[in-house]
Structure 1
Amino acid sequence: MNSALTPPAAIQLCYENVNGSCIKAPYSPGPRLLLYLLFGSGAALAVLGNLLVMTSILHFKQLHSPANLLIASLACADFLVGTTVMPFSMVRSVESCWYFGDSYCKFHSCFDILFCYSSIFHLCFISIDRYIAVTDPLVYPTRFTVSVAGICIAFSWLLAVVYSFSVFYTGANEAGLEDLVSALSCVGGCQVAVNQSWVLVSFFLFFIPALVMTTVYSKIFLIAKQQARKIESQSNKTAKSSDSYKDRVARRERKAATTLGVAVIAFLISWLPYYIDSIIDAFLGFITPTYVYEILVWIAYYNSAMNPLIYAFFYPWFRKAIQLIVTGRVLRKNSCTINLFPE
């Protein structure tokens, strides 16, 4: 009897006194705090980790190579994900409301797509760079120069900017989905609908570079195995000094290729589920539950925080550079000439 007279719980809105406000579905205090810690730590790691990568490469002269310029530019894309995308997505995911205005909702969506594609284009060029370095390490410095690296960086950023803003800022992605967009539109919402045509374009812009990277790294590891066997078979005291130098260079390039291969695999594992789900959603009527979509998005975002951890694990020079930066020794005179590669 008493339960029948109990009034239903009041519906919470993103903006209580605004007509057409979105409905708010808040978490209880415990899970809410946990999610803020989880998402916030990811954003902080993406910002601080990639800032350390960029600072290391740009400050220490020993790291001023064409390949490292590509890595620094990749770190810049991941750093911008941590500053312009993840904090705002964190609030939207936890509060289930968008409090940053319609204008920034569009920019946020564009930045999200822009930095993703910029990352994959950078990784694709890095894989090609590693292939050249491993197959012919002695000729590599004359083939992949600073100017070539600059062209690769410019292409990676320009194509990503043109695609993201021409499609998502203009609203071309919503063509044919007007009824769905109208039904989803409310004050305090920031949901992006993408029609089938642009979902396919987006997927192929992801899939083609991913296929190139997978193919190139498969060849790199086959070549690395052959080189390792050759070095073992020729390892004797009478080897020429030029041969031993070539072996050392080849070994260093293989290690760099392995490290960046791990970064590529991490990128694909992080982003592939999201792209597969976007294809399924577009062709089956947007059936993905909100919580599943949020999980896939944040797995993808966390990729921006993973690369610095991969570099720290595989690269002794990066660990030493972090020590020098954190302890403030980079502020000393001539710190940029410190040797990061002790024999």
Structure 2
Amino acid sequence: MNFSQSGISGSTQFCYESTLGSCPKITFPIIARVPLYLFLGAAITVTVCGNLLVIISIAHFKQLHTPTHFLLLSLAAADFLLGGFVMPPSMIRSVENCWYFGDLLCKVHTSTDITLCTASLWHMFFISIDRYYAVCHPLRYRNKITVFVTVNMIFISWTLAAVNGFGLIFIELNTQGMGDTYDHLDCVGGCFLTQSAASAITSSLIFFYIPGFVMICIYLKIFLVARKQARSIRDTALQRQTAEEKKNTTSLKREMKAARTLGITMGVFLVCWSPFFTFLNVDPFINYSTPPIFVDSMLWFAYLNSAFNPFIYALFYNWFRKAFRVIIFGKIFQNDSSSMQLLTN
């Protein structure tokens, strides 16, 4: 999808006035461009700073060196890279309505964009598996979800994402079968992901819809089990419990809260990205006629998911709020700050 199909003719401006086959350019008035730059710049700043806080918190505090938090660390790294390297060029393209950085950087930018977004999805998928064992099979959790297993989950997430992102663009699998249609859409100064119907449907099923559906099923199972366990806890006279039983009850409640928080994170991800993937599958069947401004709006709504995650952690995780205060007030530089207790037993 690019600007050659905006339907503008006559005295339309072009990205490169002296270049044959340049994309049409829709120039926003200054009264619209300044607020756009401010809003998108703020979204980028929040994404970068928020996820950097998550990365520093988990990397620094030893108590957070657990399989679940390592997955959150890697997820935050994907969101941080998206905010730092993908969103700024996207901001310029969105406001200026042209891509001025060349074809090679367009391919690298698009590939990196797809890679980081796909990595986020696969991290969500593996986090749901982690939470499934923590809540539904707590006795087997420590044996099943070890640091080694988590490292493999992270490796698989990044590898699948990179193969999808860079393979799709540089091998040009996204345009296979389009023929003259792609030549008609292609123009100088445009940098949007264009996919054939087969490519769009296949990649969306493998890297969004199927994993998303499985995650929803897993979390439904988690919440059904959690509700059953919560009912069992209420039916038990806590005053008669042994110290060990009380400890297990507290641990169970903590795991259920973590599952609920990460379920919200997953839900926000799916809500943010569903409109874009819906467009991606519909656009080939309407002759790629979706207005570029509408495409940009859906893409930025999806990008905002990376800014939302730190807010979700701050809202539901005590450990993140405590770590945030330690980092902001400079206490992180004190001796033994890495041994600070952020999680209650």
TM tier, shorter chain? over 0.9
Distance in 1 between residues matched to 2:338 and 2:283, nearest whole Å: 50
Question: What secondary structure sits across from 1:201 in the alignment?
Answer: helix
Question: What secondary structure sits across from 2:14 in the alignment?
Answer: coil
Per the TM alignment, residue 214 of structure 1 is displaced from its structure 2 partner at its CA by: 0.1
Q: Retained in 2: the 8 A contact 1:13–1:23?
A: yes
Write the letter of the residue equivalent to 2:267.
I
Deviates more, 1:195-204 or 1:69-78: 195-204
Residue 259 (structure 1) aligned to one of 247, 258, 261: 261
Distance in 1 between residues matched to 2:254 and 2:232, nearest whole Å: 15
User: What is the aligned-residue RMSD (CA, Å)?
Assistant: 1.6
Give the structure 2 partner of residue 123 of structure 1: 124
Distance in 1 between residues matched to 2:173 and 2:143, nearest whole Å: 43
Per the TM alignment, residue 37 of structure 1 is displaced from its structure 2 partner at its CA by: 1.3
Q: Retained in 1: the 8 A contact 2:132–2:218?
A: yes
Give the structure 2 partner of residue 83 of structure 1: 84
Distance 1:174 1:52, change over 3 A: same
Distance in 1 between residues matched to 2:327 and 2:340, nearest whole Å: 12
Residue 294 (structure 2) aligned to one of 292, 295, 299: 292
Alignment deviations for residues 235-254 of structure 1 (CA, whole Å, 9 cap, x no partner): 33121222111101100000
Question: What secondary structure sits across from 2:25 in the alignment?
Answer: coil
In the superposition, the TM-score normalised over structure 1's length comes to 0.94
Write the letter of the residue equivalent to 1:290.
P
Per the TM alignment, residue 15 of structure 1 is displaced from its structure 2 partner at its CA by: 2.9
Distance in 2 between residues matched to 1:191 and 1:337, nearest whole Å: 47
Q: Retained in 2: the 8 A contact 1:137–1:246?
A: no
- Structure 1's consecutive aligned runs of 4 or more residues displaced over 4 angstroms after TM superposition are none
In the superposition, the TM-score normalised over structure 2's length comes to 0.93
Give the structure 2 partner of residue 276 of structure 1: 278
Alignment deviations for residues 120-164 of structure 1 (CA, whole Å, 9 cap, x no partner): 111011001001000132431222100000010000000111121
Describe how 1:144-183 pairs up with structure 2 within 5 A: 144-183=145-184
Question: What secondary structure sits across from 1:190 in the alignment?
Answer: coil
Give the structure 2 partner of residue 70 of structure 1: 71
Describe how 1:1-343 pairs up with structure 2 within 5 A: 11-205=12-206, 206-341=208-343
Distance in 2 between residues matched to 1:139 and 1:174, nearest whole Å: 46
Per the TM alignment, residue 9 of structure 1 is displaced from its structure 2 partner at its CA by: 9.5
Distance 1:254 1:277, change over 3 A: same
Per the TM alignment, residue 329 of structure 1 is displaced from its structure 2 partner at its CA by: 1.2
Give the structure 1 partner of residue 6 of structure 2: none
Gapped runs of 5+ residues in structure 1? Answer: 1-7
Q: Retained in 2: the 8 A contact 1:184–1:191?
A: no
Paired residue total: 336
Write the letter of the residue equivalent to 2:145.
F
Per the TM alignment, residue 338 of structure 1 is displaced from its structure 2 partner at its CA by: 1.1
Distance in 2 between residues matched to 1:95 and 1:180, nearest whole Å: 25
Distance in 2 between residues matched to 1:234 and 1:279, nearest whole Å: 51
Question: What secondary structure sits across from 1:161 in the alignment?
Answer: helix
Distance in 2 between residues matched to 1:179 and 1:236, nearest whole Å: 72
Q: Retained in 2: the 8 A contact 1:43–1:83?
A: yes
Per the TM alignment, residue 71 of structure 1 is displaced from its structure 2 partner at its CA by: 0.6
Alignment deviations for residues 142-189 of structure 1 (CA, whole Å, 9 cap, x no partner): 221000000100000001111211121221211222323322333322
Gapped runs of 5+ residues in structure 2? Answer: 1-8
Alignment deviations for residues 17-73 of structure 1 (CA, whole Å, 9 cap, x no partner): 444433221111111111111111111111111111111001000100011100100
Per the TM alignment, residue 331 of structure 1 is displaced from its structure 2 partner at its CA by: 1.4
Alignment deviations for residues 68-88 of structure 1 (CA, whole Å, 9 cap, x no partner): 100100111111110121111
Alignment deviations for residues 200-249 of structure 1 (CA, whole Å, 9 cap, x no partner): 11111211110111001001111111111111110331212221111011
Give the structure 2 partner of residue 5 of structure 1: none
Q: Retained in 1: the 8 A contact 2:175–2:199?
A: no
Distance in 1 between residues matched to 2:237 and 2:311, nearest whole Å: 34
Per the TM alignment, residue 192 of structure 1 is displaced from its structure 2 partner at its CA by: 2.5
